[in-house]
Amino acid sequence: MNKAIILAAFIFGMSYTVDAQLRTNSNPTTKVVNQDDKQKLIAYQSLLEALDTKEAWIRSNPEELSMANKNGWFINANNTRKDVLAKIALIENKTK
């Protein structure tokens, strides 16, 4: 009978511990480490918005579109986007 009581207490204790851990760890939060990272994120997001705006303008103007295609602007813009998105991901992963 003592073994049954001890086993029941052990199971109850373990289930209580697991439940408490699940409740405290269920909402992961992302914190930016410092002000410099915040400024970098803002700058990178601003750069992405500027690229999108410029691309929309280029595509709306046939002459500019022709020049951009000749000069490889779209290739350079895509490479810049990839680099900026990678930098954003690094900062966001660092802050997790």
Find the range with the poorest average confidence among 43-57, 62-76, 82-96: 82-96
As a dihedral over the C-alpha atoms of residue 73, residue 84, residue 48, residue 46, rounded to 10 degrees, the angle is -130
| pLDDT score recorded for residue 34 | 74
Q: pLDDT by residue (tens digit) across 64-76?
A: 999 999 999 999 9
Residue 84 scores a pLDDT above 80: yes
Could you tell me the pLDDT band of residue 92, with boundaries at 50, 70 and 90?
confident
